[in-house]
Structure 1
Amino acid sequence: SLCWLDEFADPTTARKLYTAAFPLVDITVVPDDVIVQHRRVALLELIQKHIRQRDLMELIDQLVVLLVTECANDSQITALLNYILLTGDEARFKAFISELTRRMPHHRERIMTIAERIHNDGWLLGRERGRKEGKVEGERSLLRLLLQNGADPEWIQRYTGLSAEQMQALDQPLPESKRDPWIEY
């Protein structure tokens, strides 16, 4: 069969599951004391409910209880910390991690290891983006120099694939902050 639902162990159940509408739950209207009873997903639900409404430090007591009762595994804690970091600012994240580890000294190493991994992933991503931006800027500087020294703009456009707008941007002088000191402009 070419139907992907037939690949399931129980295709009939798969059809029922994947062809019916999924009921959505507005987690913002569910009381916190009910969310806390959701065990494995409670941690993430609680954060999703309150991430934009108030300071997460107000939730720290409930989060500590959930973490101490082993309701979350490392991948859930990683997801939680990533979500907090992506939706909040870095200073708030650092304060949150600091308070969390202060209240849970026996889980400190685990939380710090996860937080450090997230930090390192972000640092590596930023470094890679910086390399790409630096490479592009270096190429643009070289093209500017070629143009300033009489290279044919049509030849450059043909071999680089730059659009007319991008070629026009090359004609603009570089801001002082982006100029290399060893190149004469």
Structure 2
Amino acid sequence: MLEYVQKHIRDRDINLRLRDIALLLELTPPGKELVVCLMHYLAQEANSLDPEIFFRNLGRNTPRYKEEMMTIAEHWKLKGRNERDKEIARNMLAMGLDRATVSQVTGFGDAELDALADAGA
């Protein structure tokens, strides 16, 4: 499984390998910890991958690991949402909106806004 993923991690679209990955997961069941680590590696390194969609589809095709795949998909969904919120806050600060408004809209506190303002500078 690891060899297959490493071989294809830089494919133009890893989604084309979804069926093979699901089959390998079912045929050679590694421990759940290894599967989770391998899936996080895929999410971080694979090209053309929408992690949320990929793991939801993989969960449908791997009953043994469905719960783990759905948990990983939810993690990546929240991570994407958080990154989007940070970008919105950076844009609002760059536009000169007052910090109280930015904080109210995004829910970020002073320390988080400071970090975002420093990163945007």
Same fold flag (TM > 0.5): yes
Equivalenced residue count is 93
Structure with max Cα Rg:
1
SS of the residue 2:59 aligns to: helix
Identity %: 17
Tell me by how many angstroms 1:81 deviates. Answer: 2.4
- Whole-Å separation in 2 of the counterparts to 1:109 and 1:43: 23
Aligned pairs for 1:117-156 (under 5 A) are 117-139=75-97
User: Which residue does the alignment assign to 2:68?
Assistant: 110
Q: TM-score, normalised by structure 1?
A: 0.42
User: Which residue does the alignment assign to 2:103?
Assistant: none
Aligned pairs for 1:41-120 (under 5 A) are 41-49=2-10, 51-52=11-12, 56-57=15-16, 59-68=17-26, 69-70=29-30, 72-84=34-46, 87-88=47-48, 90=50, 94=53, 96-120=54-78
SS of the residue 1:97 aligns to: helix
Over 4 Å off, 4+ runs: none
Higher relative contact order (CA 8 A, sep 6+): 2
Q: Which has the higher helix share?
A: 2
Tell me by how many angstroms 1:55 deviates. Answer: 6.2
Q: TM-score, normalised by structure 2?
A: 0.60
1:105-144 C-alpha deviation (Å, 9 max, x unpaired): 23111011011111211211221121121011125xxxxx
Structure 2, unaligned stretches of length 5 or more? Answer: 98-121
Structure 1, unaligned stretches of length 5 or more? Answer: 1-38, 140-185
